[in-house]
Structure 1
Amino acid sequence: MRIAKITPQPGWVLSIVADDGRMGDFDVSPYLEYEAFEPLKNHTEFLKISNGGYFVEWDCGADLSADTIEARWRLVGKAEPQATAQNG
C-alpha cells in the first residue's frame, strides 16, 4: 500500500486514503505506551506528521510503515484512485 493522503484526527486517529482509493482509520493510541511515541501524547505533536508514501513520520522521529497501517486499519470506504505522482 502507498499512502496518498493522511489526516490526523482527534483521539489519536489517522484518516488515511491509499493510492488505490481505499479509505480507513488507524488508531495510534496503542503505540503511545512506547518510548518513541510518547511525545505524541501531546496532541500538538501528533499533528506534526509527514507522509512518506510508504510510511508516516512525526517530527519527534516516531514512524509507522504503510504495511503496519494496512494490517491494522479499519476500512471505512473507497474513494477515486489517486495519481501516483507526489505533490511538490
Structure 2
Amino acid sequence: MRRINWIHTNDDWTLDVSFADGEVRRYDVRPLLQSEAFKDLEDVAIFKTARNGGYFVAWDNDADLSADTLYLEGIPVTPAIESS
C-alpha cells in the first residue's frame, strides 16, 4: 500500500498528491461528484477540507479515497523546469 506525504487541493477539483516514493500525481475528483458519496464536494469549501490520512485522503463529509486509487488513476505531475 502506498503512503501519502502531502496533498494539495486545486480550485479545479483536482488533488496534487505526493507519495513516499517521491512520485507526485494529479487526481481529478470531478467525475466522482455525481455519486452520492462525493456530491457534497461540489462545494469548493468542502472540497478544500481534504486531509492526508497517510494511506487515504478524507474530507469532512466522510468521503475518502485510497492512496492506491489516487496513485493508479492519477496523472504524473512533471515538476516545472527552472531556467538558468
Aligned residues: 78
What residue is the counterpart of 1:11 in the other structure? 12
Structure 1 residue runs without a partner (length 5+): 79-88
What residue is the counterpart of 2:78 in the other structure? 77
Q: Is the CA contact 1:22–1:77 (under 8 Å) kept in the aligned structure 2?
A: no
**Distance in 1 separating the partners of 2:45 and 2:78:** 28
The TM-score, its normalising length taken from structure 1, stands at: 0.84
Q: Which runs of 4+ in 1 moved over 3 A?
A: none
The percentage of aligned residue pairs carrying the same residue is: 41
What residue is the counterpart of 1:83 in the other structure? none
Structure 2 residue runs without a partner (length 5+): 80-84
Query: Shift in Å at residue 77 of structure 1?
Result: 3.4
Aligned Cα root-mean-square deviation (Å) = 1.1
CA displacement, residues 20-50 of structure 1 (integer Å, 9 cap, x when unaligned): 1111100000110110101100000000011
Q: Is the CA contact 2:17–2:70 (under 8 Å) kept in the aligned structure 1?
A: no
Q: Secondary structure at the match of 2:54?
A: coil
What residue is the counterpart of 2:68 in the other structure? 67
Q: Secondary structure at the match of 2:62?
A: coil
The TM-score, its normalising length taken from structure 2, stands at: 0.88
